[in-house]
Chain A
Amino acid sequence: MNPLERVGARTNAFFEYAGGLTQLLGSSIGFLFRARIRIGEAISQAYLLGYQSLPITLLTSLFTGMVIALESAVNAVQYGLGNIVGGAVAYTSARELGPMLTGIVVAGRAGSAIAAEIGSMVVTDQVEALRSMGIEPARYLVVPRLLALVVMLPLLTIFADVISIIGGAWVAKIFAHIGYSDFMQSARTTISMGDVEKGLIKTVVFAAIIALVGSFQGLRTRGGAAGVGKSTTGAVVVSMMLIFISNFALSVLLYGSSG
């Protein structure tokens, strides 16, 4: 294959992937609107993909909040700006780091689980069995996972925002002697409910990315156990890339240049 053909093949593969993902999104939305949802399975997936991601999400957010506070508090106090540390931690947590880190953590944990489970089902003919019974894999497998993550990721993000601010307040108290009430007062005056809401809107998009990319990678699995491994890795890599890209796009869209 000459270089030109290779470029052509890769371009083709890219559009094939993007088209397949869009098609899966379309059919999943169609099933959601027609209320063809397996509620029991969605609840079960909410537990597996959402609730079970809570510890790692909290841990990540706690330490992130602590690091932001550590980096900003000591310097801020030196310049007499200790009263803005709470605001800085809350601002970055609610608008950017809370939603994005939660998305990344869940993409790593739940996105890979979705791809591995569906991929295993593909290589053992279980997905073909569903199709042979006239059951659409998108409705049976994808929609419950999509719904579960769209509900659970914003909830996880709320917990992440809160724990990040708590961690930040604790570190600011220990290392920069900023009182809890000063920290919280700064946080309250800096962020608005709108900031939190916009952060949560982002997580809905991230949830859709994680569920759809994980499912799509799983459904296109070929070649046994090795194929499942590739799909799982692919799901995490593509989800994370799309989360970073969409995070920037959403920040521009939601906050504009004015912030």
Chain B
Amino acid sequence: MAERIIARLDSVSLRFGDRLVLQNCSLPIVEGAITCIVGLSGAGKSTVLRLLDGLVRPQEGHVYVRDVDVCHTKERELNKIRRSISLSFQFAALLDSLTLEQNVSLPLVENTNMRRSEIRQKVSEALDAVGLTFANTNLPAELSGGMLKRAGFARAVVTQPDLILYDEPTTGLDPISVHLITKTIMRLRERSNGTAVVTSHDLPAIYMMADYMAMLFEGVIIAYGTTEEIRQSQNPIVQQFLAGDEVGPIPI
């Protein structure tokens, strides 16, 4: 069966001031699959997620989500599209005036007509999935970095969106939490056929969950394919990155 593309970057170039962040990047996101984007710090991985969510607009090229060009869509229309996408931020980005429970329930309260009891049930399930039920009345300032990250993850998954964008979901977590988050990402994909795009440096976690991988290097996607294809890539940059060697074409 042919793979369906839920979202794609089409020849995207992006600059922040004088700095070229992405150069002529094209990337398909296959529906129902987990696509992991790897690359050095500052390579533009998080920017790709923001492009897919319509938070950043490129100077050149197009970004399509379900065949809608999010680069040329009005903010109000974009908000409707965003309700079927979730972005889990690298540093959680929880609203610090709200409790954990209020933070996780926010997209449901604001964007749906669900009953309070139904929302409470969904929030409880999401917090339970990341082991944070006990902290539901805490404010973000009262949580550790790892707990914040897991809470941000819970907020991203609570709406069960079509496309979830995870920005370094396991960075800075203990091994047990890494395993928990990785398993949850995989379970969500299996349960609701949800599509995920993950940026990460955590290669063991990536190998465990990724169906597809893309590598960004100096603003260019230098490799894209199934996880197995990337692992066996002959590209010296990819080889050096995956092996973690100091010696090679990647300047340190």
Interface of A toward B, CB cutoff 8 Å: 121, 124-126, 128-136, 140
Closest chain A residue, CB of each to CB of B56: A128
Q: How far is the CB of A48 from chain B (nearest CB, A)?
A: 11
* Partner-binding segment picked from B37-45, B83-91, B187-195: B83-91
Q: Is B121 an interface residue (CB 8 A)?
A: no
B79 touches A136 (CB 8 A): yes
A135 touches B96 (CB 8 A): no
B111 touches A133 (CB 8 A): yes
- Kindly list 9 other residue pairs between chains A and B, CB separation below 8 angstroms, not including A124-B91, A128-B89, A131-B55: A129-B89, A131-B82, A132-B53, A133-B82, A133-B83, A133-B111, A135-B79, A135-B111, A136-B79
Q: Which of B50-91 contact A (CB under 8 A)?
A: 50, 53, 55, 75, 78-83, 85-87, 89, 91
B94 touches A134 (CB 8 A): no
Q: Which residues of B contact A125 (CB under 8 A)?
A: 89, 91, 93
Most B-side CB within 10 Å, residue of A125, A131, A132: A132
Secondary structure type dominating chain A contacts: helix
Bits for B88-125, please: 1 = Cβ < 8 Å to A, else 0: 01010111100000000011001100000000000000
Q: Which residues of A contact B110 (CB under 8 A)?
A: 133-135, 140
Q: Which residues of A contact B80 (CB under 8 A)?
A: 134
A-B contact pairs, 18 of them (CB 8 A): A121-B95, A121-B96, A124-B93, A126-B93, A129-B87, A129-B89, A129-B94, A132-B53, A132-B82, A132-B87, A132-B89, A133-B107, A134-B79, A134-B110, A135-B106, A135-B111, A136-B75, A140-B110
Closest chain A residue, CB of each to CB of B97: A117
Say which residue of A129, A134, A135, A136 sits within 8 Å of B93 (CB atoms). Answer: A129
Closest chain B residue, CB of each to CB of A120: B96
For the complex, give the distance between the alpha carbons of A129 and B82 in Å. Answer: 11
Q: How far is the CB of B7 from chain A (nearest CB, A)?
A: 14
A134 touches B82 (CB 8 A): yes
Closest chain A residue, CB of each to CB of B110: A135
Q: Which residues of B contact A128 (CB under 8 A)?
A: 50, 55, 89, 93
For the complex, give the distance between the alpha carbons of A132 and B93 in Å. Answer: 11
Q: Which residues of A contact B55 (CB under 8 A)?
A: 128, 131-132
Closest chain B residue, CB of each to CB of A139: B110
**A126-B96, A128-B55 known; A134+B83 contact, CB < 8 A:** yes
